[in-house]
Structures are given as structure tokens and as C-alpha cells.
């Protein structure tokens, strides 16, 4: 109780004191934790990215229903970079500098990630990247929850070679850094590991949104008609997949003759395609909607409830966001703060359940452990799992099959704290490898 003999506080001073209290750290901690969502909601990549925005929003709603984090609600801050790669950088800067988000979940293509990378490093942000990529990168500010090449591309090629007997290879991709670098790794792997001749490797690139596949599919048919078992390894991205698969059906290219294994086609992309002629073609991912686990069924039920669509499908990058979001939340709880440097330190070694019945762990190179699954397209747009690794595989940031990378390791723990430590020279380098710089040109 305030003694009555003390003078009353003037109204103007009381207002000033109240304003200061509201702005004080003690009360500011009640402000929401801002979660940035950086996914294309328009343009050629919207077919793949819109559902990832919706996934993060669902995860935020679920977290808030559980009491938020550190006693604070989470708030989604959504921007649309519109499949425009330079705009990704602008929107990332908007999220970090203006909106002051605590973390960003976003990007699909590697070219968009590379546009964002210097921004999150400059402003010391956190980016959780949920899509398979080409490797050849390790940033202190990025957590790669999608597959590295050794968690998708290499196992897929091994499956085709060992189980299907493939001898000729079509490496077909969209013309940007992920397909070019991945195909460079695969071409080297095919030559070095299986002795495949240059004449038995066909490489083709098309622009984003490419729609006229008649001539290319005809060339693939011709390439596969020379008496050797042939397969297509596809790094085609976005809505170009719809006319590509449609043209395969038009020209009678079936899985028995020339199987296609895709790295960027999942359940979401198949919703726009008549899958009847595509039955038996393949995809390599780390998760399929058809996985038979209680955790997966719970996730599917929550997704259907969130969308209000009984026909809604789930896919691999959605699971990657599920894993990444839960890893970030656990690291925040572990650190007791959303402060970026504390979260970066706390997240190494964090392990959370995946949707395939196991656990994903964050490794010191900012990649996670993942199972590898091969699935066959079914006529209902789902995948039947035909092969999987016996255990999870740790993501490798640097390829063992490129001369500029095979001597590099990434370890962001102190005291090393280096993304490209050369084990031969004993030094920490900087920047990208020459292979990746060439692939980007």
C-alpha cells in the first residue's frame, strides 16, 4: 500500500512510466514469436510451394494450441516471392529487417535459396530449407532438412542399376543449379562406380515452365531403343512436370520400357496428372503419404482437417517442414530463447520423430538423418514403396564424387565452426566450389 503522505504521481509522468513498462523487456517477452514463411504462392513454383506455406501455418496453429513456445504465441508472417528468384532476396530482407521474424521456413528451388543465402548470413537469420538439393553448400545460418544427393540421387541410381539393370541413362532437368550440379555428381558417379560410357549418358535441360515436350520425349525414346535398358533420372521442377508426364503417356513411354525416377515429383504434383499411363514410374524421396505409421496417419488427419479437403495429399517437403519446425521449437526450448546464435548452438544433436517411424537428428553440418525410399506411382496418385534403406542416412554437404569437394567436411560446432574444412590442407575455405560456380553460370 502506498502511504497517503506521499505526493501523487502527476498524470503525465504516470503515462510515461506506463509506456516505459510496456516497452520493457519484462513485458516485451509477451510479444508473439514471429515465424517467417517464404514460399511462392504464384508463378511456376506455386504448384509445389503453396502447400508448404499451408503446412507451416498448420504447425504454428498446433504449437499455439499447446501453449506456444516459452509462454508466447507464434505468429505467421507470410510473403509471396512469386517464383521470382531476385524477389526471394527482397522478401527475405523484408522478413528479417522489417518484420524482425525469429526464423524463416521457406524456398524450394536452389536458385531461390542461393538468392536468399547472403541475406540470411548478413542479417544473421535462420532459414529452414525443406527440399532436396544438390549439396555443395553449408551455411551457419541454413538448416537443410531436405535430402542431400547421398540421401536421394545416389541411392536412386543404385536402385536402378542393381535392381532394374539400367545401362543407359537420361539425366533430364530444369535448367538451374540443382539439376546441373546433381547431374554432374551423377555423371561422375556413373562413370567411376559403374563404368558407364559417355555415349550411354544423355543430358537435357529445359527452362522453368517448359511445356512442349514432344521432341524431347521422342529423343528419349530413340535413346532407349538401342538394346540397353534405359531409365530417365528426372530433376524437372514445378509445373513443367505436368506436360512432361502427359507427353510420356501420349508417346507410350511406360515404366516397363523406360522407367522414370523423379526427385521433384510427389503426391502434390500428381494431383494435376492423369496417372493411369504413369503407373510403375518411380520417385525417390524420404517420405511418402502411403507410409504405414501411426504418426503419419495423425499427420494426414491433421492436414485434412486443416485444409477442409478430404482429398488433400501430403508429401516429402511437408514432412521436412514438420521435422524442421519441431527441431527449431525443441532448440528454442533447450536454449530458453529465440535468439539466433543460442538456437544455432542448441539445435546440433536435437532429435525429433519423423513420420516414417523413426527419428531425425540434426548433424553438425546442419543436415539431418533421413531414410531413403523408392516409390512406384499408382493409378490413384499415391506411391507404393518398393525399396528403402535399412536405416537412416546422414546428409553429406559435400560430394565424394567431385574433385573440389571430396576433401571437404562441414562441422559448425566450436571450435571448428567451419562449413568447408579441407582435411588435406587443414584449413577452412570460403565460398562455393568451382564445380558449383560453373553450374550456376
The band of 273, judged by pLDDT with boundaries at 50, 70 and 90, is confident
pLDDT over 90 (residue 284): yes
How far apart, in whole angstroms, are the C-alpha atoms of residue 9 and residue 3?
13
β-bridge pairing 418-422 and 408-411: antiparallel
- Quick one: pLDDT at residue 183? 97
Mean pLDDT to the nearest integer, 24-30: 47
pLDDT score recorded for residue 35: 98
The whole-angstrom separation of Cα 307 and Cα 305 is: 6
Q: Is the dihedral of CA 144, 132, 41, 64 positive or negative?
A: negative
Between 57-61, 155-159, 247-251, 363-367, the lowest mean confidence (pLDDT) is in 247-251
Higher-confidence residue: 191 or 268? 191
Q: Categorize the per-residue pLDDT at 173 as very low, low, confident or very high, splitting at 50, 70 and 90.
A: very high
Band the pLDDT of 281: cuts 50, 70, 90: very high
* Residue 25 pLDDT > 60: no
Q: Which of 261, 329, 316, 247 is nearest to 285 (CA)?
A: 316
- Over the stretch 317-337, which tens digit does the pLDDT of each residue have? 999 999 999 999 999 999 999
What does the pLDDT read at residue 438?
40
- Rounded mean pLDDT, 412-439: 75
pLDDT digits (tens, 9 = 90+) for 333-382: 999 999 999 999 999 999 999 999 999 999 999 999 999 999 999 999 99
Rounded Cα distance between 80 and 369, Å, is: 30
At 7, the pLDDT band (50, 70, 90 cuts) reads: very low
- Phi, psi (5° rounding) for residue 95? -65, -45
187 pLDDT more than 60: yes
pLDDT higher than threshold 90 for residue 22: no
Q: Which pLDDT tens digit goes with each residue over 209-245?
A: 999 999 999 999 999 999 999 999 999 988 888 899 8
Q: Are 105 and 37 in contact (CB under 8 A)?
A: yes
Query: Using alpha carbons only, what angle is made at residue 133 by residues 46 and 314, rounded to the nearest 5 degrees?
Result: 50
- For residue range 374-397, what is the model confidence (pLDDT) as tens digits? 999 999 999 999 999 999 999 999
| The pLDDT value given to residue 10 | 39
The whole-number pLDDT of residue 430 equals 52
Residue 275, pLDDT score: 87
Residues 228-258: b if buried by 16+ CB within 10 A, e if exposed: eebbbbbbbbbbbbbbbbbbbbeeebbbeeb
Going 257 to 262 to 242 to 375, the CA torsion angle's sign is positive
Amino acid at each position: 500500500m502506498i502511504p497517503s503522505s506521499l505526493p501523487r504521481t502527476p498524470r503525465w509522468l504516470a503515462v510515461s512510466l506506463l509506456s516505459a513498462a510496456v516497452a520493457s523487456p519484462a513485458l516485451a517477452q509477451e510479444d508473439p514469436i514471429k515465424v517467417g514463411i517464404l514460399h511462392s504462392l504464384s508463378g511456376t513454383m506455386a504448384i509445389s510451394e503453396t502447400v508448404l506455406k499451408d503446412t507451416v501455418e498448420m504447425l504454428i496453429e498446433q504449437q499455439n494450441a499447446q501453449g506456444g513456445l516459452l509462454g508466447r504465441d507464434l505468429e505467421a508472417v507470410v510473403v509471396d516471392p512469386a517464383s521470382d528468384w531476385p524477389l526471394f532476396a527482397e522478401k527475405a530482407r523484408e522478413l528479417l529487417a522489417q518484420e524482425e521474424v525469429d526464423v524463416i521456413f521457406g524456398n524450394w528451388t536452389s536458385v531461390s535459396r542461393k538468392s536468399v543465402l547472403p541475406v540470411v548470413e548478413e542479417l544473421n537469420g535462420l532459414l529452414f530449407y525443406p527440399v532436396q538439393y544438390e549439396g555443395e553448400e553449408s551455411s551457419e545460418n541454413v538448416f537443410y532438412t531436405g535430402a542431400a544427393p547421398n540421401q536421394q540421387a545416389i541411392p536412386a541410381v543404385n536402385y536402378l542399376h542393381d535392381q532394374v539393370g539400367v545401362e543407359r541413362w537420361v539425366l533430364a532437368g530444369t535448367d538451374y543449379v540443382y539439376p546441373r550440379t546433381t547431374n554432374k555428381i551423377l555423371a561422375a558417379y556413373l562413370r567411376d562406380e559403374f563404368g558407364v560410357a559417355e555415349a550411354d549418358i544423355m543430358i537435357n535441360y529445359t527452362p522453368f515452365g517448359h511445356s512442349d515436350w514432344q521432341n524431347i520425349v521422342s529423343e528419349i525414346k530413340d535413346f532407349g531403343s538401342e538394346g540397353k535398358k534405359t531409365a530417365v533420372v528426372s530433376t524437372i521442377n514445378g509445373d513443367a512436370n505436368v506436360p512432361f508426364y502427359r507427353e510420356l503417356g501420349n508417346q507410350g513411354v511406360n515404366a516397363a520400357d523406360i522407367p522414370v525416377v523423379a526427385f521433384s515429383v510427389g503426391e502434390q504434383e500428381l494431383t494435376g496428372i492423369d496417372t493411369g499411363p504413369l503407373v510403375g514410374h518411380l520417385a525417390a524421396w524420404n517420405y511418402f503419404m502411403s507410409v504405414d505409421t501411426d504418426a503419419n496417419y495423425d499427420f494426414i488427419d491433421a492436414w485434412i482437417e486443416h485444409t477442409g479437403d478430404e482429398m488433400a495429399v501430403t508429401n516429402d517437403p511437408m514432412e521436412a517442414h514438420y521435422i524442421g519446425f519441431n527441431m527449431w521449437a525443441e532448440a528454442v526450448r533447450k536454449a530458453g530463447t529465440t535468439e539466433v546464435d543460442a538456437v544455432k548452438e542448441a539445435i546440433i544433436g536435437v532429435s525429433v520423430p519423423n513420420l516414417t517411424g523413426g527419428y531425425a537428428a540434426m548433424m553438425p553440418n546442419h543436415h539431418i538423418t533421413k531414410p531413403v525410399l523408392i516409390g512406384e506411382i499408382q493409378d490413384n496418385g499415391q506411391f507404393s514403396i518398393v525399396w528403402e534403406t535399412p536405416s537412416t542416412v546422414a546428409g553429406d554437404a559435400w560430394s565424394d564424387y567431385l574433385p573440389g569437394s571430396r576433401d571437404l567436411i562441414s562441422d559448425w560446432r566450436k571450435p571448428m565452426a567451419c562449413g568447408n574444412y579441407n582435411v588435406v590442407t587443414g584449413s577452412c575455405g570460403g565460398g562455393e566450389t568451382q564445380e558449383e560456380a560453373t553450374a550456376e553460370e
